[in-house]
Amino acid sequence: MKLNLSNLRFLRTRKSFIFQTRAMTQNPDPKPDPSKVVDDLLCSEQRDGQIEETVDAVAASLGSPSRVLSIDTRVERAWAHWKKLGRPKYIVAPMVDNSELPFRLLCQKYGAQAAYTPMLHSRIFTETEKYRNQEFTTCKEDRPLFVQFCANDPDTLLEAAKRVEPYCDYVDINLGCPQRIARRGNYGAFLMDNLPLVKSLVEKLAQNLNVPVSCKIRIFPNLQDTLKYAKMLEDAGCSLLAVHGRTRDEKDGKKFRADWSAIKEVKNALRIPVLANGNVRCIEDVDNCIKETGVEGVLSAETLLENPAAFAGFRTAEWVSDNEEEGFVDGGLDQGDLVVEYLKLCEKHPVPWRMIRSHVHKMLGEWFRIHPQVREQFNAQNILTFEFLYGLVDQLRELGGRVPLYKKKKIDTLTPQESPQRI
């Protein structure tokens, strides 16, 4: 079957088709903030000579949609699909403007085994070509991949999902966003107040897609409500459930600990694969979470933003100070190295500058605290370039005060010669 991708642009390379996006050249604000306008532009100009292509839309391993399948068959297929993907344990969580393609690939290099896209707005995705081209990019190495949408209309959600179905391993429904924008838009965790609508969203996708449907939720204050909610999703056709162990009102991850016991109860109540989200600061936390809850894998968000190498066993100094007796050593890698690697990936896979700006802030945060004048210089730079950002890392190194990432002594470490270098 051929899928006409009139809404997407492709660039053929010798190795693969890679989604490309276009610069956002218009802004509805008559007096826009210059830094915001340029940050919305892609970090690479659109290449000339691109053409619209057709590609083979290969059906996923689940075969036909699940509308004719019994619950037993759906569960069997859910596990077969998960096992075919290698049962990934270390997973990059969905993060608005932060889990984009270059960052996913960087985390993958350092141990991530699967990843979610940033949350995509299903209505805007179906209506706006510019949004599609700019916000969803992928390549053949970017698998296993969950493409996440927020939605409150089943038909709109299905239309959006159909557009990405050939390029992902799951279409995920965001049922966990607790932010005010989700309240205003009536999506995310605020759909917990309208479970019939949630059920209809899942059923619509499960009955009409060839790839499985996954959901990401938060827990209710009452455990029994959470279990009924999770069971409803499974019965509606959800093939994999990710559970954030905090309630909708517990937005501050540093203030509120995720409830692993609630996640364990969900895992024990369901027949489909379950993932956990919350309380992950280092690789040992992942292993402890899996041991305590019995889940298949663990999602990480904030920890990876600061340290994309966390799944490879690297820790920031913050999480070494409390565990000095365990014996940590300089791992031969630092966040400056990771920024350089990230920038190289952005040169290869262009994304909006606002995403790059955000990642540089997060990854170099500790360095900026040591040299605040460099942070001020970065913040004052309205128009970013790769030359400027590479120079920023070089400047921080020249000023001294390198902040290494640490590893346990028993884990092999990189030598300084093996540390990534800018070419």
Q: Where are the beta strands (DSSP E) in 65-207?
A: 90-92, 114-116, 120-121, 145-150, 170-175
What Rg, from alpha-carbon coordinates, does the chain have?
21
Question: How far apart are alpha carbons 350 and 379 in whole angstroms?
Answer: 21
Q: Single out the catalytic residue among 43, 177, 238, 282.
A: 177
Question: How far apart are alpha carbons 113 and 311 in whole angstroms?
Answer: 9
Question: Does the active-site annotation cover 177?
Answer: yes
- Output DSSP code: residue 34: H
Residue 47: partners with Cβ closer than 8 Å, 6 or more residues away: 11, 20
Asked if 93 and 301 count as a contact pair (C-beta separation under 8 A), the reply is: yes
Contacts 24+ apart (CB under 8 A), 365-372: 365/306, 366/316, 366/317, 366/335, 366/403, 367/335, 367/336, 367/396, 367/401, 367/403, 370/399, 370/401, 370/403, 371/396, 371/399, 371/401
Question: How far apart are alpha carbons 96 and 118 in whole angstroms?
Answer: 5
Residue 334: partners with Cβ closer than 8 Å, 6 or more residues away: 402, 403, 404, 405, 419
Question: How far apart are alpha carbons 59 and 160 in whole angstroms?
Answer: 17
Closest by Cα among 222, 237, 234, 235 to 267 = 234
Residue 90: partners with Cβ closer than 8 Å, 6 or more residues away: 111, 112, 113, 114, 283, 286, 297, 298, 300, 311
Residue 144: partners with Cβ closer than 8 Å, 6 or more residues away: 85, 86, 88, 113, 114, 115, 169, 170
CA distances from 2 to 11, 58, 166 (A): 18, 9, 11
Closest by Cα among 199, 200, 203, 198 to 188 = 198
Residues with a known catalytic role: 177
